[in-house]
């Protein structure tokens, strides 16, 4: 099969590797190089880096509005276009080019968590399970019929980064299974996504990362896990703003004002919430590195004395 791959971030790299084992990847599409980091130097995407290592030609159009971009794809004579976190919504004129259309690998159990940040939103919402769906692409956002799916439990303490890496590998296997069936000319039986249960995983925003102590402790603990490693939750602890890397919810009855430090010790710093308390176990001061609560208290004698 002549395959064309379209993806951008780290999540898509295992799927690109899987595709190269099931067919000839004749080109890889990815987002244009953009400035990144403090020096604002031009940076290439993880998919571009992987494609170049494998000798796969890379194309980076801003979009497919221009006829020349669509003709470049048509000239590749693709049997299938595989899309994994590419970052563009493809028009119908593009979806119609490959012989078997376009497949999309999405990190949720559709129709739940359509959109940009399904992994983090699942953890933030307290979902017990998630998964990966391989779907036939339509013009809408993650609305196409599902070809294959794999379900997995979300670990009690699993972070957004950990789940991201795990789902990337699961997704690669799901794609490999789908391509294997297609190569063997075995029919995939797609199922139409139901209207009921549709939710949208909106793009993450740094402004969301600030912890509001008026919320329940369980909601804040979920947010801490979901936003690790980016954008990373941040909170005000007794006058100092810190990033929170690890925390758990405690079902405490306290009657204290939200945001009050209830206790500070080696096991963590317990902060009163609208319901329950959040025990902060790993945190980061401005300009510092992630440390345990015990180490943090060595520099906060005011809290250590009050515990």
Per-residue pLDDT for 305 more than 70? no
CATH number at residue 254: 3.10.25.10
Final residue of a structural domain among 157, 185, 201: 201
**Do 20 and 123 have their domain in common?**
yes
Distance of CA 48 to the CA centre of its chain: 19
Q: How many angstroms separate the CA atoms of 159 and 290, rounded? A: 15
CATH number at residue 54: 3.40.50.170
| Strand spans (E) along 24-142 | 24-29, 34-36, 41-43, 58-59, 80-84, 102-106, 114-115, 129-136
**Do 13 and 160 have their domain in common?**
yes
Mean pLDDT, residues 218-226 taken together: 98
Final residue of a structural domain among 185, 201, 217: 201
pLDDT number for residue 284: 98
Mean pLDDT, residues 134-140 taken together: 94
Final residue of a structural domain among 144, 175, 201: 201
Exposed (0-12), middle (13-18) or buried (19+): which is 42, by Cβ within 10 Å? Answer: exposed
Tens digits of per-residue pLDDT, 103-133?
999 999 999 999 999 999 999 999 999 999 9
Using alpha carbons only, what angle is made at residue 274 by residues 269 and 279, rounded to the nearest 5 degrees?
A: 20
**Do 166 and 212 have their domain in common?**
no
Per-residue pLDDT for 213 more than 80? yes
Tens digits of per-residue pLDDT, 154-169?
999 999 999 999 999 9
Question: Is 236 among the annotated ligand-binding positions?
Answer: no
pLDDT number for residue 41: 84
pLDDT number for residue 157: 95
Domain span holding position 215? 206-306
Question: Is 53 among the annotated ligand-binding positions?
Answer: no
Mean pLDDT, residues 258-281 taken together: 96
CB atoms within 10 A of CB 5: 30
**Do 235 and 173 have their domain in common?**
no
Sole residue written with tokens 């794999």: 150
**Do 233 and 292 have their domain in common?**
yes
**Do 79 and 111 have their domain in common?**
yes
What does pLDDT average to over the chain?
95
Q: Which residues fall within 8 angstroms of residue 307, CB to CB, at 6 or more apart? A: 263, 264, 265, 297
Q: What percent of the chain has pLDDT over 70?
A: 99
Number of domains composing the chain: 2
Question: Is 111 among the annotated ligand-binding positions?
Answer: yes
Per-residue pLDDT for 176 more than 70? yes
**Do 184 and 41 have their domain in common?**
yes
**Do 34 and 111 have their domain in common?**
yes
**Do 185 and 133 have their domain in common?**
yes
Q: How many angstroms separate the CA atoms of 21 and 183, rounded? A: 12
Per-residue pLDDT for 292 more than 90? yes
Question: Is 52 among the annotated ligand-binding positions?
Answer: no
């Amino acid at each position: 099969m002549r395959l064309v791959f379209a993806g951008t971030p780290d999540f898509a790299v295992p799927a690109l590797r899987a595709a190269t084992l099931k067919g000839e990847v004749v080109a890889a599409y990815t987002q244009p190089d953009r400035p990144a980091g403090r020096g604002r130097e031009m940076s290439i995407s993880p998919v571009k880096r992987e494609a170049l290592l494998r000798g796969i030609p890379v194309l980076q159009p801003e979009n497919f509005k221009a006829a020349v971009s669509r003709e470049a794809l048509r000239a590749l004579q693709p049997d299938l276009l595989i899309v994994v976190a590419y970052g563009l919504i493809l028009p119908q004129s593009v979806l119609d080019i490959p012989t078997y259309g376009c497949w999309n690998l999405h990190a949720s159990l559709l129709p739940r968590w359509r959109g940009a940040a399904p992994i983090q939103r699942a953890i933030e919402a307290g979902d017990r399970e998630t998964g990966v769906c391989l779907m036939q692409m339509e013009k809408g956002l993650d609305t196409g019929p599902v070809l294959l799916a794999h379900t997995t439990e979300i670990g009690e303490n699993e972070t957004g980064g950990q789940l991201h890496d795990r789902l990337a590998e699961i997704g690669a296997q799901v794609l490999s299974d789908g391509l294997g069936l297609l190569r063997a000319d075995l029919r995939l039986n797609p199922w139409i996504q139901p209207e009921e249960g549709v939710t949208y995983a909106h793009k993450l925003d740094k402004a969301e990362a600030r912890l509001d102590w008026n919320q329940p402790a369980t909601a804040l603990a979920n947010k801490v896990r979901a936003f690790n490693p980016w954008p990373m939750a941040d909170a005000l602890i007794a006058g100092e703003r810190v990033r929170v890397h690890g925390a758990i919810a405690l079902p405490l009855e306290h009657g204290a004002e939200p945001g009050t430090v209830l206790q500070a010790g080696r096991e963590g710093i317990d902060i009163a919430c609208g319901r329950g308390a959040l025990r902060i176990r790993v945190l980061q001061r401005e300009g510092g590195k992630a440390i345990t609560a015990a180490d943090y208290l060595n520099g906060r004698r005011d809290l250590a004395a009050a515990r």
